[in-house]
Structure 1
């Protein structure tokens, strides 16, 4: 391979069409401009910062980390859609995918991508942190029983949050609620 044919991985990382970062122990070591821009930060501002700055609340950051660990342990990768927070406080839906570089350290060194999906899924109702968590799991197609097991809540508590979401989104069925959460209704 000639020097002109050498692949410049740094350039690819910096110009990727999705937000990307390298992290260690949930701290951003490097991120590209797309990630910084998506979250409303300037290039370099997120380096050395905890992922916590990208979450609506510290509790959501901690609960998500707890949820990621068993999945990363089992698969070595993780993916979901969740509500995140921009620097200006605006909430938006984001598709997040990550891969651990070492299977023995699920939240150690990793590569993560972030895609803003708010155009097709706007955050249209004021939701509590727990409602945001339940909504993200409903969008994944999980039942109340599975959500209860994953979140450590009782199935009845999950049903109460689901009912609250249905009121807030004026949905009369669970299917209608999911359609509205994904922006299809």
Structure 2
């Protein structure tokens, strides 16, 4: 019996204690960041924004939020040449002891391809690093398997020739540094041997 009377009293004292401290508990809106190696990332939580420089591995918004307030962390601006996503970035403050989202960034990747002329039989195999692509006869275009990180180099070459033909990558088209778009300018010309 005595315990059942003490519980409401303890709850009342706790409520009065919180009210004396300003009312509600408040929470940091924070989290971790992985793989951010360029500038430009801006996170948002409602109207609160936070620019995050490259190399940062954690973030905390300046504005704290009260118990029961919803939060929704989003990427307002992607960093240069990267794409970032957020997990655990939304909810209601107080359901968890800490608000801790995870921001994961990755380098933008693009494909490399182009045109083929004179390919009348099977057997043409192209290579770019470890990516190998077999081009079917009568094909007029190709796209290499895999993709290339922004800023990385690519160099297409012929790994295997089709029977009776000699295929060559046309000078000035088979290699370069990956920009911010798919490459479609590689030219392969096949001629009878």
TM-score range, shorter-chain basis?
Answer: under 0.3
Return the structure number with greater strand share: 2
Return the structure number with greater helix share: 1
Q: Name the TM-score, length of structure 2 as normaliser.
A: 0.21
Q: Name the TM-score, length of structure 1 as normaliser.
A: 0.22
